[in-house]
Structure formats: structure tokens, C-alpha cells
Amino acid sequence: MSAVARVPLHVTSIWLPHYADDPLATGSVGCGVLLEPGAEVYVRLGPGPVDLPHIQRVISLMGASASASYRSPVELGYGYGLSGALALGTALGLAALLGRTPLEAAQIAHIVEVELRTGLGDVIAEFHGGGIELRTSPGAPGVGRVERIDPPRDLVVLTSELNKIPTPEMLRALSDKLSSIAPKYLRKIFADPTYETFARASMEFSEEVGFLNRELKARAAGCLRYGDALYVKKGVLVFLTRSDEADYAEECLRSAGLKTKRFLPSLGGASALRLDGDKAVGSLA
């Protein structure tokens, strides 16, 4: 028996880490955009190859003998929340096969991200979905809280991959800066949780924290005549535009030396299906 899980990608724009002795209480408050197409994780019961530590750890914590593989439009290391998506997809796929609950699976995926120091808020965001998410209290699914900011119906998200940065390295480097900078932007968006505030605050935070540096902003700023805002998380630039201007924005960014990928906001959260061959025989949302 096998299962397939589909999980949106997630690029945080503003975040403030919160660490606790309990990994379920560890997480972050902040906001970000959820993207589709996302990752697809294929899980099969029984021994088999497992290459990634996130997948290995999920399988171990769920007490299963299983193998997993995945497809994704992006690579690990840029800032798309892919490690969280793979952990969550593996956990949901196993839950569909073992009769476990989606919440239990999502909490295990969150624990794995915290243990491996590769994410604090991606799993809860990807589990719930919502297009643009606002994490109002930290923690795993069922512990933290997430609200939805409705994205414009015609929103298109362009991304450009800049460089790979290990998440533990990023968190160490930014620890003090995040504590001093993030709260004022979070107050803005908590007070006015709208797309317009999200777009403006995300760009301002990205500049102040140092991800959107002067050189990069100078290259991309001219393209904002075709968009609402841009921000950078870790090693990926996110450009928010509309369907009628996306082609122009894409051409402008490419002329600035920024190769792009195109996504839509993912309104739905992660889900999994049990499979019998190629036929779905059950679902887990």
C-alpha cells in the first residue's frame, strides 16, 4: 500500500523565533505566502531507500518501516520551506496508511523540523494553507495559531533563486537582529492584517534585516511598476504581482539578471491520499 501527499511551499516574509523546552511549543510568529505547485511526497510501506534526514526521522518517530520519494519544483536550501513540506508530506502519507490522525502527523513533522533546526513555522503554515498566512502564536499545529490574510484573486508570485543558505546558519546570524527588528513589523500587521499591509511590511522588514540589500533592490526596483512588492527570505526573492502584469514583471526581472519561477497562492493546506496502484482509495486532509 502506498500514499501520496501534496504540500504547498511556504516563503516566510516576517518572523520572530520562539524557543521552548517542548518542541511542540517552539516555533515562530510571523507571516508568509503559500505557493503552488508545491511538493508531492510518495510513501510506501516496507523497507526501501530514504535519502533525506527529515524523511528518515519522520519514519522513525512514527514507528514505521517505509520508503519515500518526492517531486518538487524547487530545491532545498533556498527558503521555500521545502524541508518542512517533505517532513509533513511523509508524515501525512504515513498517517493515511497507518490510520493515524492528520494532527498527530503534522506535530511529528514539526518536531523533526525543530530537532534538525531547519524550520520553526513552515509546518504549521503548510498544514493549514490560506494563501497568505499570519502566525499569531508560536508552536506546532494544534498548539500555535494561524490566521488567513485573503490574497487578491489575481495574485501571481514570481520567485528568483539567489543562493543557498543553511537555515541553522541563518538563524544563528540573525538571532539578535530578529529580536530587535521583527516586533515592530508584527505589530503593524497584527493591527491591520490586510494584503496591502503584508506587502508593504514584508518589503520593509526584508530591507532592514539585510536580505534585500541595496544592490539587489537597485536591480529589481524598476520592476515594481509591474508589481505590488518584493521581499527576500534567506536565498529566494519573492515578487508579488498580478495576472495581467506577470509577463511584464517576469521579462523585467529577467532583464535584470533574475531568472524566475511562477507560482500561485495556495489556498488549501497539505493533504494525502491512500493509493491502490494508481487509484485513490481514501483521503486524509
Give the CATH number of the domain where residue 103 resides. 3.30.230.10
Range list of H helices, 24-67: 53-61
**Same domain, residue pair 129 and 6:** yes
**Same domain, residue pair 222 and 280:** no
- How is residue 221 written as a grid cell? 526596483
**Same domain, residue pair 180 and 239:** yes
**Same domain, residue pair 81 and 181:** no
**Same domain, residue pair 54 and 39:** yes
What pLDDT score was predicted for residue 284? 45
- Rounded Cα distance between 19 and 55, Å, is 23
- Rounded Cα distance between 58 and 63, Å, is 9
The series of mean pLDDT values per 10 residues for the chain, 285 residues long, is 97 96 98 98 94 95 96 97 98 97 98 96 97 98 97 98 85 82 97 98 96 93 96 96 98 97 96 78 47
**Same domain, residue pair 138 and 14:** yes
What pLDDT score was predicted for residue 279? 54
**Same domain, residue pair 11 and 136:** yes
- Rounded Cα distance between 43 and 266, Å, is 22
**Same domain, residue pair 225 and 134:** no
What pLDDT score was predicted for residue 283? 47
Output the domain CATH number for residue 243: 3.30.70.890
**Same domain, residue pair 179 and 73:** no
- How is residue 106 written as a grid cell? 503534522
Contact (CB, 8 A) for 1 and 223: no
Q: The pTM is what?
A: 0.94
Domain count, the chain: 2
What pLDDT score was predicted for residue 278? 54
- Rounded Cα distance between 67 and 46, Å, is 7
- How is residue 174 written as a grid cell? 540573525
**Same domain, residue pair 172 and 277:** no
**Same domain, residue pair 172 and 258:** yes
Contact (CB, 8 A) for 238 and 159: yes
Contact (CB, 8 A) for 33 and 132: yes
Rg (CA), the chain: 18
Residue-range definition of the domain harbouring residue 109: 2-149+268-284
**Same domain, residue pair 93 and 193:** no
